[in-house]
Amino acid sequence: MSRVVALGECMVELAPATNGLFAMGYAGDTFNTAWYLRHRLPASVEVSYVTAVGVDAVSHEMLRFMADEGIDTRHVAHVTGRTVGLYMIHLKNAERSFSYWRSTSAARLLADDTSRLDAALSGATLAYLSGITLAILAPDARARLAAALATARAAGTRIAFDTNIRPALWSDPDTMRQTLMATAAAADIVLPSFEDEARHFGDADPAATAARYGRAGARLVVVKDGPNPVITLAAGGPVTAHAIPAPVTAVVDSTAAGDSFNAGFLASQLEGADLATAVTAGATLAARVITGPGALVRSAVTAVS
């Protein structure tokens, strides 16, 4: 059986609802991708999530939600004295900003147990992580995670990495850039977003982003750029622009646009599709997601089932 393993932090999400109220859910960049992968892939493919939670009620409720959604939680660590993080979405003209409460997040300890990591990654077809996964970890934990991923990759696991740059989570910009580049160099698929890359690496255009990660050693780079063409670069091949479906005019909430693109793209790749088809699959799913509120839009996965 094929296995997909996503690693990172799932949080309590408070998303704007009606009359000034908020709807509670569970979300986080790599978890969002895992959730969309679970709904996009056949049941024969196992989707696992690797994180750490507390032993309190909200942690148990989160794990029950994951299990109810069909996501394997066998490799989630339970940490006494910690809990899960929380974030609130603020929307202005469909663009989002966030407020976070995560100082006691157990997910910061997700790479503390190397045997748990190795067991989670053993035999995985694909492992997926993000820049946020790395940013929340202490330096020694990042090193443990990198070693576990290298072992899994040597055994045949493909590594997919969304750089997802969040400078507020890092100790300093140089550490952030160096860690992102090193992780991308050890990945099979890198999924950056041009806006972030231009701001923090100074790339002139999406092709420059693709070329930079390609030079670092990434085997396939897929650069997202909002409604603009997706730029790809496969090892030994040319930079290619892929037109995406017509832009969405009635955007409700751009939360998880990139996360859902990654899920659609990776699911299509796992099913053996060519690069252009996978890009279209990612863009199509993301276009549906941004027409609904919050990170996990059930109508989007129902529409593409």
List the catalytic residues: 259
* Helix locations, the chain, DSSP H: 29-40, 57-68, 114-121, 131-135, 139-154, 173-185, 194-201, 206-216, 257-270, 275-289, 298-304
56 SS3 class: coil
Burial of 149 (C-beta count, 10 Å sphere; 0-12/13-18/19+): buried
The DSSP secondary-structure symbol of 169 reads G
3-state SS string for 248-293: CCCCCCCCCHHHHHHHHHHHHHHCCCCHHHHHHHHHHHHHHHCCCC
What are the structure tokens assigned to 63, written together? 């794990």
> What stretch of H or E contains 220?
strand 220-223
Q: CA–CA separation, 111 vs 164, rounded Å? A: 19
The DSSP secondary-structure symbol of 246 reads P
Q: 254, 234, 245, 235: which is closest to 277 by C-alpha? A: 245
Instruction: Report the first-to-last Cα separation within the chain, whole angstroms.
Output: 21
Q: CA–CA separation, 170 vs 92, rounded Å? A: 26
